[in-house]
Amino acid sequence: MKLLHKTLRIYLIFSLIIFIVSIPVIYYLVQDLWITDVDESLVYQKEKIVKGLTNNNLDSTSISRFSQLAGNFDVGIEVIPLIDDNTAKDSIYDNNFYDETRLHIEPFRELTSIVKVNDAWYKIIVRKDLVESRDLIQGIVLVQVTFFILLLLGIILLNSYFSRKIWKPFYFILSKLRTYKIDSEEQIEVEPSDVEEFNQLNQSVQHLTATNIQIYKAQKEFTENAAHETQTPLAVVKNQLDLLAQDNQINQNQSEIINKIDRNISLLSKLNRNLLLLAKIENKQFNKTETIVVSEVMNEVYEAFDEHIKLMGIHFSSFVSENKSIDSNPQLVHSLLFNLMTNAIKYNVRDGLIEVYFKNNTFCISNTGSNSPLPEDKVFERFYKQSTHAESVGLGLAIVKKICDSLNFKISYQFNAPNKHSFTILFN
């Protein structure tokens, strides 16, 4: 769930509760105010009637005539003459009457008062109709719901507006971090914000990437320098061995030792060169792009291994589209095919097979080999070795992967029982 949706949901639940609670509260409050107001007006009306009766010096006949007329016009006033005196207090109460015009029972508020006018006792009843509580609740709910919806729309709109505006730097840096690769060695660009927290986040991210890039660069330079610097001492050892080999006193045992040392120096030097190649690819030192005819590169690579393939009794078959070209770096593409071919030969079996296929931007090289699949997660790792091959330094497929990454090619590994290993590259 998005952060904004989460806060929005909390706000919405809270306002919903408040609105639900507010409906009965408002109902009772309005009703109470209304009744108080009606009561006051009833008392006032009664006093006006008493005053009118007193000032006009009406006799009992006129008063009963007034009462009758008032009853006929249904203005809610009754004046009833009383025979004996009565000192009961005024009382206000609810009463229901059948409303003839509206044809249903209506709630009323009534005031009954006993008064003495011109030495005669009267009972005065005044009444006012009240709003039906159902209407009141309806009215309140209608108003509340309307406002609730308005509020809801407001919150959602404002929220989405702010999510776009205020959180923009946050989402910006998030998208940058998601696609960030340390080997691009580029600083993360940030979007300045007026929110302090975001600025802090931006600063922290920039600081973090800057430090990491620095460390990464230092490490890479170290690899490069170390690989370089070891080549000269290796050259010294190699040349000394060459000199030693010329000695006539050397016996067969010593010869074998010399050969073994020499072989391992070559291996070490190859390892250095491969590490350097990896460092160079990472440094993006191969940025030239040319149109490359894949079949030509494949032929070149094949020729380098021709005799080896024949010597090992490997059957080589190739289905490569002629004249089909891709735009890429020639050195890297050559190195890519070279390493794949090396791999296919190195781990092959006697009288095995190598198949090369290239069509529609898909290049596939398969070879027979061990009877079990290679672990897909480890096969492209540096120094991962498929077997205890003495001549293997375990960098070939790491280079292949690195080249594919840097040229935006997709590479995948498949195993087909019983012993077919395939690498498929999708050129983009």
Residues in touch with other proteins (CB under 8 A): 228-229, 231-243, 245-246, 250, 252-253, 255-256, 258-259, 262-263, 265-267, 269-270, 273, 276, 280, 285, 304-305, 307-308, 311, 331, 338, 342, 345-346, 391
Q: What is the number of alpha carbons within 13 Å of residue 329 lying toward its C-beta?
A: 17
Strand, helix or coil for residue 10:
helix
Q: Is 154 or 233 the residue whose CB approaches other proteins more closely?
A: 233
Angle at 418 between CA 413 and CA 422, to 5 degrees: 20
| DSSP assigned state of 118 | T
CB-CB neighbours of 212 under 10 Å:
13
Strand, helix or coil for residue 107:
strand
| DSSP assigned state of 131 | P
Q: Is 99 or 290 the residue whose CB approaches other proteins more closely?
A: 290
Q: Two tokens at 121?
A: 């006792």
Q: Is 152 or 261 the residue whose CB approaches other proteins more closely?
A: 261
| CA 197 from centroid of its chain's CA atoms | 19
Given a contact cutoff of 8 angstroms between Cβ atoms, the answer to whether 330 and 288 are in contact is yes
Q: Is 103 or 236 the residue whose CB approaches other proteins more closely?
A: 236
Query: Distance of CA 293 to CAs 42, 109, 323, 364, Å?
Result: 106, 102, 6, 16
Q: Is 55 or 252 the residue whose CB approaches other proteins more closely?
A: 252
Q: How far is the CB of 372 from other proteins (least distance, A)?
A: 22
Given a contact cutoff of 8 angstroms between Cβ atoms, the answer to whether 294 and 363 are in contact is yes
CB-CB neighbours of 126 under 10 Å:
24
Q: How far is the CB of 187 from other proteins (least distance, A)?
A: 27
Given a contact cutoff of 8 angstroms between Cβ atoms, the answer to whether 423 and 364 are in contact is yes
Most distant CA pair in the chain, distance: 164
Q: Is 316 or 338 the residue whose CB approaches other proteins more closely?
A: 338
Strand, helix or coil for residue 411:
strand
d(CA 406, CA 336): 11
| DSSP assigned state of 369 | -
Q: Which residues contact 89 (CB under 8 A, 6 or more apart)?
A: none
How long a stretch of residues is the chain? 428
- Residue 417 has φ and ψ, to the nearest 5°, of -60, 150
Q: How far is the CB of 306 from other proteins (least distance, A)?
A: 9
Q: Is 5 or 385 the residue whose CB approaches other proteins more closely?
A: 385
Q: How far is the CB of 263 from other proteins (least distance, A)?
A: 5
Q: Is 229 or 376 the residue whose CB approaches other proteins more closely?
A: 229
Q: How far is the CB of 161 from other proteins (least distance, A)?
A: 54
Q: Edge-to-edge strands of the sheet including 91-99?
A: 77-82, 120-129, 104-117, 91-99
| CA 391 from centroid of its chain's CA atoms | 48
Q: How far is the CB of 186 from other proteins (least distance, A)?
A: 23
Q: Is 196 or 303 the residue whose CB approaches other proteins more closely?
A: 303
Given a contact cutoff of 8 angstroms between Cβ atoms, the answer to whether 110 and 93 are in contact is yes
Q: Is 214 or 259 the residue whose CB approaches other proteins more closely?
A: 259
Q: How far is the CB of 283 from other proteins (least distance, A)?
A: 12
Q: Is 24 or 313 the residue whose CB approaches other proteins more closely?
A: 313
Q: Give residue 246's identity as a one-letter amino acid code.
A: Q
